[in-house]
Amino acid sequence: MEQKFAGEGLREWESPLYLEALHQFDRVAELIGLDENIAERLRVPQRSIVVTFPYRKDDYSDVESLFGYRVQHLLTMGPTKGGIRYAPDVNLGEVAALAMLMTWKCAIVGLPFGGAKGGVRVDPLALSRSETQRVTRRYTAEIINFIGPNKDIPAPDMGTDEQVMAWIMDTYSQQVGHSEPAVVTGKPPALGGSVARREATGRGLVSLLPMAAQQAGMDLDGACVSVHGFGNVGRYAALAAQQLGTRVVAISDISGGVHNGKGLDVEDAMAYVDKHRTLEGFTGGGDRITNAELLTIDCDVLMPCATGGVVTGDNAGDIKAKIIMEGANGPTTLAADEILNERGVLVVPDILANAGGVTVSYFEWVQDLQNYFWSESEIVGRLREIMSRAFDEVLSVATKHETDLRTAALIRGIRKVADAKLARGVFP
Ligand code: GLU
């Protein structure tokens, strides 16, 4: 087929994560014989917004400029949906890759959204609360024409939280002249945020563990779990894993990790982090370890819940876990995936495993639009139902195609999107 624009244009988004996402997509597109015109459209995001903007530091005379991004991968399915991350190395390519993954994620769990992702290149730990507020409000002002309850609905991601969502909601509402809670999800409940949103990604992840264990022939009672990352995903995943009867033997965050073969008390660790901001100095009756050590420590289940690209070709051969549940987005590189598949490690991929967050975000958006709020038990029950149905569906694709769960999840997500694109046709 004749070369389309995308091959050339790819330079715009080029980054290691984007190339990996593209490689996965191309492989599956070929496997399912995807229409080439549709494949060409899906390889690149529909909208990429890059902004630069100033904010005042707490020393009022000091003004700093920042880069901000918002990428909307696909506008076919409904509004776009995805988090906003604040991190020192965020770039357009990373955000574009994550927006593409959000498209597949939403399709796999059957949400009426295309994928999006945003980011500001800034170290959130280096900002004071008032600086974070000014950065957030100005970034929101810069992208305000592209977001909205029917356009694009941001949510928390790495380095952002409920408070950041509240400031986005307030900035947007000030501009449109009325309160508009449905413009973001992951807000504080006082502003129309959903109860159980904060715990949703971790809980959703662990809700799939019994099904994964059944596949791997593993008895979960007393099974050892290590959790890489103790932020919004990792801490609630660890807690849910403990409540399920497993032993959480290792946890870690930016300050390093801790290992206790007898099991750590997750609630103790959470209380410690609430007080001290990180796990630095926490031992939980065990030993301090590095993040690298945590990934290859003796355990049955590994949950990478921190950031992308941590399970690599270099450490995949040393991983002891028999099941990997991907709480983070893109934690496993392509090279690692091949090694893990060969070694028979069951990897429950990010686009399925961590979809609980965006699923409860969807509930929050629906509740905000209707001004009718559900009980926690309704939310948790519906989350479980959606997650387990998605797992079953992905598993049956995997069985049919004799393939791994990541490939199967991609097949399912890409097919759904392709069907919708074919049905809508080309405008004009
Ligand atoms: N940032 C989360 C994710 O990557 C949640 C997105 C959302 O709730 O919209 O799935």
Q: What is the architecture, at CATH level 2, of domain 201-353?
A: 3-Layer(aba) Sandwich (3.40)
Residue 98 CA, ligand 1 centroid: distance in Å: 10
Cβ pair 328, 305 in contact under 8 A: yes
Cβ pair 119, 86 in contact under 8 A: yes
Atom of ligand 1 at shortest range from CA of 355: 10
Residue 8 confidence (pLDDT): 61
Report the C-alpha gap between 37 and 157 in whole angstroms: 32
- Residues of the chain whose pLDDT is less than 50? 1-3
DSSP assigned state of 21: H
Atom of ligand 1 at shortest range from CA of 85: 1
Q: Is 357 close to ligand 1, i.e. is its CB under 6 Å away? A: yes
Report the C-alpha gap between 254 and 126 in whole angstroms: 14
Residue 14 confidence (pLDDT): 86
Q: Return the best residue to mutate from 102, 152, 326 for the ligand 1 pocket (most ligand atoms within 8 A of CB).
A: 102
Residue 319 CA, ligand 1 centroid: distance in Å: 27
As given in the structure block, the two tokens for residue 68 are 């901000």
Q: Is 80 close to ligand 1, i.e. is its CB under 6 Å away? A: no
The residue annotated as part of the active site, out of 117, 187, 322, 421, is: 117
Hey, whose CA ends up nearest to atom 5 of ligand 1?
Answer: 358
Residue 208 CA, ligand 1 centroid: distance in Å: 18
Amino acid making up residue 37 = N
Residue 60 confidence (pLDDT): 86
Cβ pair 83, 117 in contact under 8 A: yes
Atom of ligand 1 at shortest range from CA of 82: 9
Residue 291 CA, ligand 1 centroid: distance in Å: 24
Q: Is 103 close to ligand 1, i.e. is its CB under 6 Å away? A: no
Report the C-alpha gap between 179 and 136 in whole angstroms: 18
**Residue whose pair of structure tokens reads 């309704």 in the numeric block:** 378
Report the C-alpha gap between 419 and 71 in whole angstroms: 22
Residue 415 confidence (pLDDT): 98
Residue 270 CA, ligand 1 centroid: distance in Å: 22
End-to-end CA distance of the chain: 23
Atom of ligand 1 at shortest range from CA of 113: 9
Residue 3 CA, ligand 1 centroid: distance in Å: 34
No. of helices (H) and no. of strands (E), the chain: 16, 12
Q: Is 358 close to ligand 1, i.e. is its CB under 6 Å away? A: yes
Give residue limits of the domains in the chain. 8-178, 201-353
The beta-strand segments (E) located in 59-113 are 63-72, 80-87
Report the C-alpha gap between 396 and 394 in whole angstroms: 5
Residue 2 confidence (pLDDT): 44
Report the C-alpha gap between 309 and 332 in whole angstroms: 5
Cβ pair 41, 71 in contact under 8 A: no
Hey, whose CA ends up nearest to atom 7 of ligand 1?
Answer: 358
Cβ pair 255, 290 in contact under 8 A: no
Residue 7 confidence (pLDDT): 54
Atom of ligand 1 at shortest range from CA of 81: 9
Hey, whose CA ends up nearest to atom 9 of ligand 1?
Answer: 82
Q: Is 257 close to ligand 1, i.e. is its CB under 6 Å away? A: no
Report the C-alpha gap between 175 and 41 in whole angstroms: 33
Q: What is the architecture, at CATH level 2, of domain 8-178?
A: 3-Layer(aba) Sandwich (3.40)
Atom of ligand 1 at shortest range from CA of 358: 8
Hey, whose CA ends up nearest to atom 8 of ligand 1?
Answer: 358
8-178 and 201-353, same CATH topology:
yes
**400 noted as active-site residue:** no
Q: Is 184 close to ligand 1, i.e. is its CB under 6 Å away? A: no
Report the C-alpha gap between 283 and 264 in whole angstroms: 9
- Strands 346-348 and 323-325, by their bridges, are parallel
* All residues at 6 or more sequence positions from 261 whose CB lies less than 8 Å from its CB, including other chains: 224, 249, 286, 298
Residue 276 CA, ligand 1 centroid: distance in Å: 26
Query: CB count, 10 Å around CB of 138?
Result: 18
Amino acid making up residue 191 = L
Residue 407 confidence (pLDDT): 98
pTM of the complete model: 0.96
What is the phi/psi pair of residue 149, to 5°?
Answer: -60, -30
Report the C-alpha gap between 409 and 62 in whole angstroms: 48
